Amino acid sequence: YAMLLSLIFLIVLVAAVVGFVFRHEIKTNFESNLNLALRDYNVTADRHSEAVDTIQRTLHCCGVQNYSDWERTEYFTQRGIPQSCCKSQDDCSEEDLKDPSKAKLKVFVDGCFFLVTSTMESKMSVVAGISFGIACFQLVGIILACCLSQYITNNQYEMV
Domain segments of the chain: what residues?
1-158
Q: Report pLDDT for 7.
A: 92
CB 62 within 8 A of CB 108: yes
Using a 10 angstrom Cβ sphere, with 0-12 exposed, 13-18 middle and 19 or more buried, the burial of residue 74 is exposed
Give me the half-sphere count of Cα atoms (radius 13 Å) on the Cβ side of residue 2.
Answer: 11
Q: Which CATH architecture has domain 1-158?
A: Orthogonal Bundle (1.10)
Alpha-carbon distances of 73 from 36, 55, 82, 136, rounded to whole Å: 10, 18, 11, 49
Give me the half-sphere count of Cα atoms (radius 13 Å) on the Cβ side of residue 19.
Answer: 12
Q: Report pLDDT for 98.
A: 86
Residues in the chain: 160
Q: Report pLDDT for 113.
A: 92
The letter for the amino acid at 68 is S
Name the percent of the chain in helix, strand, coil, to the closest 5. 75, 0, 20
Exposure b/e, 43-70, CB count within 10 A at least 16 = b: eeeeebbeebbebbbebebbbbebbbbb
Residues of the chain with pLDDT under 50: none
Please count the other Cβ atoms lying within 10 Å of the Cβ belonging to residue 85. 25
Q: What is the pLDDT of residues 43-89, one digit of tens each?
A: 666 788 888 889 999 999 999 999 889 988 888 888 888 888 998 88
